Amino acid sequence: MPYTFKIDHLNIHESYFKGKVEFRGDDYTINIQDERRGKVLKLPFALEKKKKVLVRFSGPNDIAVEDFLPFEGESEWVEVDSDQITFFIADHQDQFDTLEIIDDFSEA
């Protein structure tokens, strides 16, 4: 079962994006940046399986970008460190409305 976040907005800064997402009625800050720390995913809650998960950003008009990232634990923010995702979002700014975290590939 994917964890689906609604993207409220993403603002570009010098080398990263910061914005707000909503998940199950709660609002969280999101930070998307390159792989300075390596590939990283941190969430405001724990995942049952601490392994690589599929992180997918999508929007209307069939636009999407995804990457496999290791879940690195809990944080107050949603943190996504991926060159592939960061650079694609930079080229397609304001076109994304959904973030999915998929940790069970038996259904995917």
Model confidence at 106, in pLDDT bands (50, 70, 90)? low
**Which strand (E) or helix (H) includes residue 4?**
strand 3-12
Q: What is the pLDDT of residues 25-53, one digit of tens each?
A: 999 999 999 999 899 999 999 987 768 99
**23 pLDDT above the threshold of 60:** yes
Alpha-carbon separation of residue 65 from 25, 26, 27 (angstroms): 25, 24, 22
What is the pTM for the complete model shown?
Answer: 0.92
**108 pLDDT above the threshold of 70:** no
Model confidence at 14, in pLDDT bands (50, 70, 90)? confident
Residue predicted with more confidence, 106 or 56: 56
